[in-house]
Structures are given as structure tokens and as C-alpha cells.
């Protein structure tokens, strides 16, 4: 077990409480669809290369009638970055010791009309301390109203803190969630932010509001689409789109690399991959 200071413990407690409420909301959707699916949780421990305790986390996965596969992970880890990887992390080149706690969520949906989604928020500490994260919507079959509602709710969260946040973080998401070798974006965007440092309380408050925004808007979108009729052609389109999603996460996603480089749980790290995908 790693020792946490007051800020680290506050962040950890929040991410775990957000996990509990998101999972409860998703299970409620399954109940309403006539399914008894629930999250299965598996805890894991991490050790530093020298064998000292390095924290751990809990991987939660549910496979149901609405959510074909959804994973909600929380982790709290600490230790030392190995080798040159420290030079790629904000504030770690001077001192490789680090702490990280956060929540990561990816949902792949059974109905092609229901958009898949990603959400991640985190608190990291090296020689600097900062928050990062965001959320982006990934529909195989986009609907303008879903995209508008998702962005409007994230904009509301941003505007409560700084009117400059939303345009900046929306553009950041568009730039980040892009697949260069395909020349396409991963989805219809959202927000992405990183290295939000300075006053802990203001960064923490913003990060909490991003989590609340996601919990508010995404279940509404799921319920709007989950009973839509779909065809074999819709499913084919969904599976091909999932292939693009897998390509991004395996080739470009920084979170995947961070987890693997810091000795995280491999199953939790690769939780983002869809249960089925196709390539033509």
C-alpha cells in the first residue's frame, strides 16, 4: 500500500465515488432493458521493479443487453518511471518518482445506433501536480442531436470555470483523437485537457464537473437510442468502425502506453478494446 497525502486521497476518493455512481447508472439501464447484467470487479496490485508496493486498482466490466462491453477502471499507483520514459512525462525528467490516480471508462454498445464513449479523468504528481482527462463520443451512426447534447453539456461544465476552456479543450480533443494513417477522427469529439496545474482546488473542481457532466448526459443518450431497430448493414458498419477505434488505442493512445510502461494491469489497460471488430 502506498501512502497518500491529503490531495492524493481526496482525488482517489472522488474517482472511486464517481465509478460507483456511473456503474449504478449503467446497471439501471440494463434493468430497464430487461437484463440482469451487473459489473464484475477484479482488484489488482502493482509492484515497483524493486519489489516495493506500487499501488493498484479495480477493473470493472459488464456485458449486457445494452452494453455489449463496458469497462470502468479506477487505479491509484506510485513509484518510479523507468529509463527514458521519465523524460516523456511532465515534470519527471528531473525526478522519476510519480503518483497517479484516476478513472477510465470505455463503453461499446450492442445497438449500432447507440454511440460508444470514452471518459477518463486523472490526477498526477511528479515534481509538478496536475489534472487531465476528458470525454469523447464515438458513434458508428452519428446523430446530430446526440452530438449537440454531448458537446453542450461539456461546454456547460467548462464555462462554469473559464469561457476559454471549451473551445481550447474541444480543439485539443479533435487534434488528439485523430487517426493519421486513416486520415479520420475517432468520433465526433468532446473535450481533452492535460497539465491543468496550479491551484489544486480549482483543477479538482473542474475535473469533478467533467465527471458530473458525463454522468448526466451519456445515460440520456443511451436511453434515447437503445431501443432503435437496426439491420445487418448497421452491424457491419459498427464492427468496421470498432476496428478504427482499436487501431487508435493500440497505436496512438498515450494512456495505453502509460499503463504498460508503469506496470499496470494489462487486462485493465486493454479494457478499451471492443469485444468484436472487423477489417475489410
Distance set, CA 102 to CA 47, 76, 187, 247, 258 (Å): 18, 7, 23, 23, 13
How far is residue 66's CA from residue 110's CA, in Å, rounded to a whole number? 5
At residue 263, the pLDDT reads: 74
| Within-domain flag for 277 | no
Residue 63 has pLDDT above 80, yes or no: yes
| Within-domain flag for 51 | yes
Which residue, 59, 67, 80, 2, is CA-closest to 30? Answer: 67
pLDDT (tens digit per residue) in 109-143: 999 999 999 999 999 999 999 999 999 999 999 99
| Averaged confidence pLDDT in the chain | 94
In degrees rounded to 5, what are phi and psi of residue 191?
A: -135, 155
CB 202 within 8 A of CB 196: no
Residue 265 has pLDDT above 90, yes or no: no
CA distance between the termini of the chain: 47
Q: What's the domain range around 179?
A: 6-272
pLDDT (tens digit per residue) in 164-175: 999 999 999 999
Q: What is the CATH number of the domain that holds 115?
A: 3.40.1500.10
| Within-domain flag for 29 | yes
At residue 38, the pLDDT reads: 98
Provide the pLDDT confidence category of residue 234 given band limits of 50, 70 and 90: very high
| Within-domain flag for 238 | yes
Q: Which three cell numbers stand for residue 184?
A: 479520420
Half-sphere exposure of 19 (CA within 13 A, CB side): 29
Residues contributing to the annotated binding site for a divalent metal cation: 108, 118, 151, 181
| Within-domain flag for 21 | yes
At residue 1, the pLDDT reads: 63
Which residue would you say has higher pLDDT here, 155 or 258? 155
At residue 252, the pLDDT reads: 92
Regarding pTM above 0.85, the answer is yes
Instruction: Catalytic residue, from 118, 165, 185, 195: name it.
Output: 118
What mean pLDDT is predicted for residues 92-104? 92
Provide the pLDDT confidence category of residue 272 given band limits of 50, 70 and 90: confident
Q: How many domains does the structure of the chain reveal?
A: 1
Residues contributing to the annotated binding site: 104, 108, 118, 120-122, 151, 181, 263-265
| Within-domain flag for 81 | yes
Which residue, 278, 276, 247, 279, is CA-closest to 109? Answer: 276
> pLDDT above 90 covers what percent of the chain?
81
CB 56 within 8 A of CB 25: no
| Within-domain flag for 220 | yes
| Among 11-25, 71-85, 212-226, the least confident range | 71-85
Residue 262 has pLDDT above 80, yes or no: no
At residue 3, the pLDDT reads: 87
Residues contributing to the annotated binding site for substrate: 104, 120-122, 263-265
At residue 163, the pLDDT reads: 97
pLDDT (tens digit per residue) in 1-57: 678 999 999 999 999 999 999 999 999 999 999 999 999 999 999 887 777 888 999
What mean pLDDT is predicted for residues 195-206? 95
What mean pLDDT is predicted for residues 147-155? 98
What mean pLDDT is predicted for residues 179-192? 96
165 an active-site residue?
no
| Within-domain flag for 164 | yes
In degrees rounded to 5, what are phi and psi of residue 65?
A: -80, -35
Amino acid at each position: 500500500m502506498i501512502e497518500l497525502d491529503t490531495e492524493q486521497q481526496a482525488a482517489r476518493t472522488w474517482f472511486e465515488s464517481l465509478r460507483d455512481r456511473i456503474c449504478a447508472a449503467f446497471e439501471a439501464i440494463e434493468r430497464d432493458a430487461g437484463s440482469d447484467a451487473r459489473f464484475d470487479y477484479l482488484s489488482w496490485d502493482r509492484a515497483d521493479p524493486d519489489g516495493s508496493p506500487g499501488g493498484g486498482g479495480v477493473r470493472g466490466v459488464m456485458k449486457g443487453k445494452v452494453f455489449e462491453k463496458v469497462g470502468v477502471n479506477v487505479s491509484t499507483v506510485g513509484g518510479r518511471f523507468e529509463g527514458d520514459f521519465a523524460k516523456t512525462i511532465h515534470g519527471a525528467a528531473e525526478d522519476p518518482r510519480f503518483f497517479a490516480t484516476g478513472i477510465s471508462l470505455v463503453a461499446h454498445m450492442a445497438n449500432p445506433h447507440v454511440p460508444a464513449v470514452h471518459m477518463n479523468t486523472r490526477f498526477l504528481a511528479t515534481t509538478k501536480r496536475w489534472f487531465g482527462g476528458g470525454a469523447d463520443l464515438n458513434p458508428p451512426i452519428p446523430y446530430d442531436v446526440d452530438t449537440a447534447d454531448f458537446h453542450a453539456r461539456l461546454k456547460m461544465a467548462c464555462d462554469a470555470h473559464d469561457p476559454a476552456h471549451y473551445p481550447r479543450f474541444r480543439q485539443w480533443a479533435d487534434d488528439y483523437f485523430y487517426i493519421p494513417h486513416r486520415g479520420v477522427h475517432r468520433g465526433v469529439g468532446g473535450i481533452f485537457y492535460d497539465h491543468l496545474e496550479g491551484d489544486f482546488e480549482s483543477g479538482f473542481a473542474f475535473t469533478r464537473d467533467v465527471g458530473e457532466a458525463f454522468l448526466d448526459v451519456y445515460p440520456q443518450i443511451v436511453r434515447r437510442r437503445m431501443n432503435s431497430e437496426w439491420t445487418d448493414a448497421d452491424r457491419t458498419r459498427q464492427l468496421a468502425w470498432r476496428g478504427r477505434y482499436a487501431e487508435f488505442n493500440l497505436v496512438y493512445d498515450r494512456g495505453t502506453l502509460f499503463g504498460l510502461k508503469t506496470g499496470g494491469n494489462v487486462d485493465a489497460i486493454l479494457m478499451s478494446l471492443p469485444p468484436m471488430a472487423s477489417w475489410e
